[in-house]
A and B are shown apart, each in its own frame.
Chain A
Amino acid sequence: MKLDPVTLEILATKFAAAAEEMSYFLKRTGRSQYVKEAADFSTALVDTRGKFYAYPRNIGVSGFFDLDCGPTIAAVGHLEPGDVIITNHPYMSSGLATHLPDFNLVQPYFHDGRIVSYGWSFVHSADVGGRVPSSISPSNFELFQEGMLIPPMKLVKRGEMNKDAEGFLRANCRTPDANMGDIRAMLAALHLGERRVARIIAQHGIDTFEAAIPGVLSYTAVKAREAFRSIPDGTFEFWDYIDDDLVSALPLRIRLKLTIDDGLLHLDFTGSDPQVQAAYNLPTAGKRHSQMTAWLTSYALTRDPTLPLNSGMLEPVTIYTERGSLLNPEFPAAVGVRHAIVHRVMDATNGALAQALPDFMPAGCAGIIIPVVLAEPEDSNGRRNVSVVQPMVGGGGAHNGGDGADGRHSGPVNIGNNPLETTEANADVTILSYAMRIDSGGAGEWRGGSGAELTFSPHQSGSQVLGRGMDRFRFVPWGLAGGLPGLAARTIVNRGRPDEHEVGKLDMVELQAGDTITILTPGGGGYGDPLKRDPQRVLKDVRGGFVSAESALRDYGVHIADDRVDKSATTLRRSEMVAARARDPERPFFAFGRERDVWDAVFDDTLLSRISAALLTLPLGARTVARRVLWAALLAVIERNVPFAPDALAHARVAVERELALLEARVVKPALLTASAA
């Protein structure tokens, strides 16, 4: 049965509204801060294959509409009306859950005794047990440290809560009441979805309902491909780095080869680093996955804002990831901080697209989300007050025709902030500043967005500050087409005092009463030649305090005195700067900043791709050891929060290459022998 376009439009509207209504309901009834403040939850309607056909637009986590419930449903087997499945297992759910705090619930919706649809919902729970409060720590090195594991199983059977399961869940976390509150809200949202599906079927009939689901998906796929056709055909390669995994100082690389052919996209992540013994792995089960296509879906929606949100949008996209890599890790790799990887996947996608569409795509964004958490010492009752002081992001990248957003991340990173007054009422802390970070946005004809600055002082000694998700202390948001990169992140204790010190990228730092901590997030990259920026715009930035007068002169060649642009001095200065450039002819499309330039000069793509390839031929256990041995010489000469020394890197490369040759001899030869034997 093929539906006419009018009926299809009507059903599509009702599907989307139902999914959205479920989320509004969940948001209002959910219990934890993750629901209320961070909006780390969602709902959807799922077809009988397990793919999403309707997803909310303006609420909850954006862009999770290409997850796959199929394996989770299959794992449970026979389902009856009133059953609800729960799982948080990244591997047994084949990437439906991507870290343990995400409780995923799936409910079958029946009509006339058979399943015609499913409802889905997830919430990031406050805590699921494990080694640390709130369950996520970068230094966890295997899944079992990250909390309880729930394989796909029935939480509710024929409408009755599985009390054994509930008891097990409650016993294995630090926040049983909040978790069960969130779960109850999810169950209620799923029931609401069930009633909405029933209403649509009652109004339009089951045949129309069932025909509309593939109809909506294929309509979306056609429209999405049309949007992707705006990318010229070709192959574009790009790689970007996470500073390190906090366990060692070794940078982690995400490498993408993007091929576009008439609106069909293939993303090949071969050459990305192998999985690590820290919580920086992204479990995707080797499939196309929402977490890897976030930047692409935003691209499609930028071209066509009317696209419905469902899995059809990714129909023109295929993905390859190597098993055992950061983007397709093997059990039991820890996954808690996988969003740091997701950010870099977005940056890599952006960089590849920027080569295809240099006049359209933005420069590098800050590429971080840091929920800055304050954990106060235990009170006399043994309770600890733990609260998010501020969820922080940095600046957006500039594009041809527009500055990057200040203190906000453009693209699919849409996180709200906390009122300072609410934080001060909740926690024993004074917030001294929450402001734009001057001169942090990369200079350009279009300026990168400013990073943010947060300074606060806990009132109690022994208060701990956690900054999960910090990055871009070394590898900065890149500039485009002559624009400069944004400033790197910094973390400073007691800034401006004699005992001021940098603490850099941190997992946790303990403070005494009266200490201050300052967190500075990166600015976005600039776009285009800063010397072409309209001097009046530079003046406005100086007046507003986004750019200092010194930077105006140094980076933009704009001379500002007495709150005015000195035109003749500016003309002179700019012509001098142009002349100085003639001696330095190479002006690459990407401006990566000093650390990346030093690194790239020594550790080039060919070598790094060889290393990944060689390591991935080894079984997991052997690979970990081999990787440590291979990089030993480099690890001896680099340190977190200390700039690279070019000579030391070059020296280390010799040793790394020697180890690589040994490794290749060991792993490549047996393969060759096998091949020749066959």
Chain B
Amino acid sequence: MNDAGEGSSQAVRIGIDAGGTFTDFVAAFPDGRVLYHKEPSSSIDPSEPVDRGIRLLLDQAELSPDHPVLIVHGTTIGLNAVLQRKGAKVAVVVSRGTRDILEFERGRLPDYLNLLARKPEPLVPRERVIEIDARLDAQGETVRSPSREEMDELCDSIARIDPDAVAVSLINSYRNSFLEEEIGAAIRKRFPNILVTESSRVWPEIREYERSVVACLNAGIHPLLNDYLNTLSTRVASTGRPVALQLTTSAGGMLSLESARERPVETMLSGPASGTIAAARLAAEVGVSEAITFDMGGTSADIAILSDGRFEFTTNSHIGGLPLIMPVVGVSSIGAGGGSILTVDSAGALKVGPESAGSDPGPVAYGRGGNKPTLTDCYIALGIIDPADFLGGRLKIDRAAAEAALAVVAGKIGRTDAAEAGQAALDIATTRMATELFKLLALGGHDPSKQMLIPFGGAGPTHAIMLAEEAGLAGIVVPPAAATFCALGAALADVRRDLLRSIGEARFETLDRRLWPVWSELEAEAQNWLRVENVPVLDVSMEYSLDMRYAGQSHNMLVTVAEPIRQAHDLQGVAEALHAAHEALYGFRETDDAVEVVSVRLSITGRVPAITLPDLAVSQAAPVPKGTRAVFQRDRWVDAQVFHRSDLLADDVVAGPAVIVQPDTTTWLPSPWTLKVHRNGALIASRSNADEA
């Protein structure tokens, strides 16, 4: 929507996805050029490859030194710290009598069918939880407030613990942040260098355990991310360019360094969320409104559901066994990855995973000492992956070793050879993925036959059609640059933030005086935040929603409320929104039942200028294959044509069986599937006889 004149002053956008092995970059320039780049990640100083990549891309672009640059960065620093429990040393301040919120968690043992199951290590050990006489009632009124002496004692206790960060989480603070802020202020005053997180300021939602987890996660990654951002800002500033640095969020948006420093917990799941931003754009470009992303890497396959052009959010995700109640893009694991190991149990059943050979030692065929066959070995034995051209030929593949390992499996399950065993393992893995996918689709009431699969990650495009066949999906769309897909998503991110206030369990009758003012407050807060973020945006939109339920239910439904209903203060309209949402999902409404509102939500999105990605040239003739190779498809060997992805042009059509090879992945197109190349470079495949079937 921007013309060239406007574009020339537009910032260069660089999206970065810092993963465990590689740090990926996508740079989009106002003149329409797009550059992709990869740097090996560094565990010692993760900012170093980021800095190196940025400089390299900017040098290549030959920009004027004062051209504005916007860097949108996704990092897993927070996530890894939590998964490895290597976060900062946190102390927690709680109301008297509630010291064990983190010990009890929500009561269930994760491995309860195991008689010897132990309780998980609490997020913060009990000796670092401090009780204080500070208590609010369920209406948010202060019942007990600590005296000056008690505040001093609290600070003495903190001094003895000597933490890096402190979280304050009082019972019922979701109704009123005043008491937590008072305590926070006292702590900051005595310890100016300790970072303090008040649970009610980060995410004031009812349920003390979950809210405390948010506060403790925030506090725990605060110092780490702070250090990283300081180092990175210094490095970036030394380029001498007008660079703005932003971070991607778990909700598929971006926020400023200042916001990220205050609420680092919002960045934790940003990697997968960025992938979905790119997928949403891709889906829009190819005219698809119902889609599922399928990110299959070495250890797992993850999906997210795109419904009516938008990604579904979840408010009950988990990180390393801890609940995260803030809205994040709903990414779920559905099963095995390329490194998942095949085993045959004592009763002769073939299993795939959950153990994974990862990338080290990796599959048998990698020849790095792995001696247990994996799904990747299956792709190789079946001829889907070409040993000579794996990862652009950078990795030497030993096909014979993979076949030998699979032949052993074949012997145990009554199959004749490696290819049959490989096929069996792929069928089992695919079945598992499809059943998990069905469960997730069923939860949201989605019809599998309307879904397009958007595969990325190393094994995604290889396995996508197997899954699409088993699950009866409409087809697949392989994105142009599957390996830097998350970095592209970062470059595309809008400015976005979610805000929430729990209002308890408000009966509908009392709602009129409580609901509308809360939304007005949230609106003002959101607009103020966006102003301070100071990122140029094209327009601003707000979305209003409520956590609602029928009285007696404890499961809330997230119900979007249309703006006219909110403006008209139309309570009946609000109730109708719940009924309609309930009916859409469950098939019935409970119009006789009382309606309750638990939490009020608002999300604000500032849309940033669009990035233009280059189109492919239109094909003038049928594409020429590089050759053919034998691939095992449904119990027999077939000759599959081999194409290089870079040789394919817009509107090219390829009929299966065929394999499309590119340096970082292989797309397997069995018969009777056909693909067509979109002008943006995507490969769109569907079953050729779909209409006849």
Contacts and interface: CB of A to CB of B under 8 A. Distances in A.
A401 B119 CA distance: 14
Contacts of A37: 554
A177 B593 CA distance: 9
A24 B443 contact: yes
Nearest to A297: B113
Contact of B116 (A29, A181, A410, A416): A410
Contact of B138 (A408, A411, A425, A435): A425
Interface in B81-109: 96-101, 103-104, 106-109
A298 B115 contact: yes
Interface string A413-424: 111110111101
Most buried by A among B439, B550, B552: B552
A425 B505 contact: yes
Given A31-B552, A36-B555, A219-B347, A419 B116 contact: no
Contacts of A13: 428, 431-432, 435
Interface string A229-262: 0000000000000000000000000000000000
B413 A405 contact: no
A421 B172 contact: yes
B137 interface: yes
Interface string A474-506: 000000000000000000000000000000000
A407 interface: yes
Interface stretch (A3-11, A80-88, A128-136, A598-606): A3-11
Contact of B126 (A27, A36, A449, A545): A545
A391 to B, nearest CB: 7
Interface string A181-216: 100100010001000000000000000000000000
Interface in B167-217: 171-172, 174, 206-210
A289 B519 CA distance: 54
B174 A421 contact: yes
Most buried by B among A20, A301, A421: A421
Most buried by B among A17, A31, A360, A432: A17
A445 interface: no
Most buried by A among B97, B114, B414: B97
Contacts of A545: 99, 126-127
Contact of B113 (A6, A399, A412): A412
A422 B347 contact: no
Interface stretch (B228-236, B484-492, B583-591, B641-649): B583-591
Contacts of A431: 97, 171
Contact of B586 (A188, A419, A425, A452): A188
A302 interface: yes
Interface stretch (B7-15, B348-356, B383-391, B457-465): B348-356
Contacts of A10: 427-428, 431
A410 B109 CA distance: 7
A6 B350 contact: yes
Contact of A435 (B99, B107, B137): B99
Contact of B350 (A5, A16, A393, A415): A5
Contacts of A417: 104, 106-107
Nearest to A32: B552
A421 B424 contact: no
A219 B349 contact: yes
Given A17-B435, A181-B590, A425-B505, A433 B97 contact: yes
A5 B413 contact: yes
A8 B208 contact: no
Interface in A57-115: 62-63
B125 interface: yes
B553 interface: yes
Contacts of A147: none
B98 A402 contact: no
Contacts of B1: none
Contacts of A305: 113-114
Q: What's the interface size class on B, roughly?
A: 35 or more
B345 interface: yes
Most buried by A among B117, B346, B414, B552: B117
A543 B127 contact: yes
B439 A21 contact: yes
A9 B555 contact: no
A25 interface: yes
A544 interface: yes
Given A188-B586, A434-B98, A414 B112 contact: yes
B23 to A, nearest CB: 36
Given A408-B119, A430-B137, A222 B347 contact: yes
A449 B119 contact: yes
Contact of A544 (B114, B125, B436): B125
Contacts of A430: 137, 143
A408 B109 contact: yes
B439 A17 contact: yes
A178 interface: yes
Contacts of B22: none
Contacts of B113: 62-63, 297-298, 301-302, 305, 412
B118 interface: yes
Most buried by A among B209, B428, B550: B428
Interface string A294-315: 0101110110011000000000
A374 interface: no
Contacts of B107: 391, 393, 407-408, 415-417
A118 B171 CA distance: 47
B439 A33 contact: no
A226 interface: yes
A360 B414 CA distance: 36
B625 interface: no
B108 A416 contact: yes
Contacts of B96: 433
Nearest to A427: B138
B438 interface: yes
Contacts of B125: 544
B115 A361 contact: yes
Nearest to A406: B119
Interface string B485-505: 000000000000000000011
B442 interface: yes
A421 B171 contact: yes
A6 B97 contact: no
B539 interface: no
Given A298-B114, A405-B117, A544-B126, A177 B592 contact: yes
Interface string B597-624: 0000000000000000000000000000
A28 interface: yes
A135 B599 CA distance: 33
A431 to B, nearest CB: 7
Interface in A1-50: 4-6, 8-10, 13-14, 16-17, 20-21, 24-25, 27-29, 31-33, 36-37
Given A412-B112, A421-B174, A4 B118 contact: no
A432 B95 CA distance: 9
Most buried by B among A361, A455, A544: A544
Contacts of B587: 188
Interface in B415-449: 415, 424, 427-428, 431-432, 435-436, 438-439, 442-443
Most buried by B among A9, A222, A434: A9
B442 A31 contact: no
B349 A9 contact: yes
A302 B113 CA distance: 7
Contact of B100 (A20, A402, A436): A436
A9 B346 contact: no
5 contacts: A17-B439, A410-B118, A415-B108, A419-B210, A431-B97
- Give the 3 A-B residue pairs with the shortest CB-CB distance, closest first: A433-B97, A17-B435, A417-B107
Interface of B: 96-101, 103-104, 106-109, 112-119, 125-127, 137-138, 143, 171-172, 174, 206-210, 345-351, 413-415, 424, 427-428, 431-432, 435-436, 438-439, 442-443, 504-505, 550, 552-555, 585-588, 590, 592-593
